[in-house]
Amino acid sequence: MKLSNFAFLLASLCAAAGAHAAPTASTPPAKPPPATAAPAATEHAALPPPSSAAQKLYTAARADILQVRVLLKNGRTQSSVGSGFLIGTGDLVVSNYHVVSQFALDPDTYVGEWVDTSGQRGNVELLAVDVLHDLAVLRVNRHGTGFFKMPESLAPLTQGQYLYSMGNPLDLGFAISEGSYNGVVTRSFYDQLMFTGPINAGMSGGPSVTASGDVAGVNVSKRLDGELVSFLVPARYAQQLLAKVAQQGKPPKDFKPLVTAQLLAHQEVMLARLLDTPLSLKAMGPYRVPVRESDQMRCWGRSNVKSDKPYMLDNTSCAMESAIFISGALQTGQVSMRHEFLRSSELGALRFSELASASFKNESFGSYKSVHLTGPHCTEQFVKNQTLPLRAVLCVRAYRKFTGLYDFALLAASTDEPLMSLQSRIDARGVSYANGMRVTRTFLDALSRAPSTTGTRKP
């Protein structure tokens, strides 16, 4: 079957993927990156005692630091906690989107509450969210003292200068941690600042300031595989969100359409950046496979060449190092790709075929237990691109709460050799249907076999 016909048949998945189905589990990336950043609510570590400079800052700022709690409406039981800070002398609070995501997406079940350093508390009103930069602006029924300001001209930062992060770590009480600024993270899709200091669970959404009290960023996450490697959202993104709040009228009654619009905008930029130049081709035996290594995507490989198995397996994987947090059970806006080259000189053609088929069948496209996505709607065809006959499976899942977003997974295996098999997979999470078809078609077209050199000789 021609590849163009294959793409035509796959277009019928659009209607099926949007239909209601039993809940399914989110399709994982083919291979996770070896190290990840997580919201600053994951690991316990003791904070070092603050310096005298930190103590002075905390004393001056403590009245404007808040704990932001998410409570179940029924019974007011605490579900999660984070931090926030009052801007100027007004009643607006900056925090992280992931701190307030539960009541942003499910206000019928969850409600927000603020608690200050003196123990006073009150309800919060969500005014705006920036999912892509993990920020939120809230309104509370109290005012700031004016310590935290967000001026039009933000203070420049110099690598190595001290920063001071504030919040309520582990729900133990308000605290300040001291560290240093170490530049902009280059492997994050959106700019983040690297803070060499501890940010613990509960400090998400708290401020990080310079020694003079200027807001440098907002606490957001930490590396789980490192020591004192933490991340901040640059203050300019909070500044931009506050400017939008100043221009808007009433806040949205339903934040899901707003989140959807932001995710659709992200996937346009993500795939434009991924496909603005042809994918690089990497040799795996006689095959050429597409990869992309950039500031946002990293590739790695491994082989079982030293094992005692009767076959050899080489693996190459590329994945974006960041994803967009939607909820505790859903992260999206990410692309990954994987290639596995299997060959054997010991197995016969029948046994090798059984081995390659078992590997193909073991691929997971998601189950039927997720409240976030429909079940995988899949189609399988034998196709041929310009140089290579392939067995291909395309699976599509629709987002239940974010209309127009899909997860795409394409798995393809070569069928031209009895004792060699190339299996390639691409996952595009949180993309439009048109862009999902575009990226999977580009990936499938790029798989190839190197031209044969039989019958030629060097001059």
In the chain, where the domains are located: 53-247, 260-449
The H or E element that residue 334 is part of is: strand 334-343
pLDDT in tens, 375-395: 999 999 999 998 899 999 999
Residue 226's pLDDT band, with cuts at 50, 70 and 90, is: low
Cβ-based neighbours of 178, under 8 Å, separated by 6 or more: 48, 50, 51, 53, 54, 162, 163, 164, 197
Distances (CA, A) of 202 to 45, 95, 171, 357, 392: 12, 11, 6, 47, 45
- Rounded mean pLDDT, 339-368: 90
Q: Which of 377, 135, 404 is nearest to 268 (CA)?
A: 404
Distance from C-alpha of 268 to C-alpha of 87, rounded to nearest angstrom: 33
User: Contact, 430 vs 262, CB < 8 A?
Assistant: no
The answer, yes or no, to whether residue 255 has pLDDT greater than 90, is: yes
The answer, yes or no, to whether residue 40 has pLDDT greater than 90, is: no
Residue 34's pLDDT band, with cuts at 50, 70 and 90, is: very low
Give every strand in the sheet of 377-384, ordered side by side: 297-303, 312-320, 334-343, 420-431, 406-414, 389-398, 377-384
* Multiple choice CATH, 53-247, 3.40.109.10, 3.50.50.60, 3.40.605.10, 2.40.10.120: 2.40.10.120
- Rounded mean pLDDT, 48-68: 87
pTM here is: 0.84
The answer, yes or no, to whether residue 1 has pLDDT greater than 80, is: no
Query: Looking at this protein, which amino acid is placed at residue 34?
Result: P
The H or E element that residue 263 is part of is: helix 256-275
Least confident span in 18-32, 84-98, 248-262: 18-32
Angle at alpha carbon of residue 269, lines to 265 and 447, rounded to 5°: 125
Residue 8's pLDDT band, with cuts at 50, 70 and 90, is: very low
Distances (CA, A) of 203 to 43, 168, 176, 261: 11, 5, 9, 28
Residue 68's pLDDT band, with cuts at 50, 70 and 90, is: very high
Give all strands (DSSP E) within 117-155, no chain letters.
121-130, 135-140
pLDDT in tens, 181-208: 999 987 778 999 999 988 888 899 999 9
> CATH classification of 260-449 is 3.30.1360, yes or no?
no
Distance from C-alpha of 436 to C-alpha of 441, rounded to nearest angstrom: 8
Provide the angle, in degrees to the nearest 10, between the axes of the packed helices 97-105 and 256-275.
Answer: 130
Distance from C-alpha of 398 to C-alpha of 433, rounded to nearest angstrom: 9
The answer, yes or no, to whether residue 6 has pLDDT greater than 60, is: no
Does 74 or 215 have the greater pLDDT score? 215
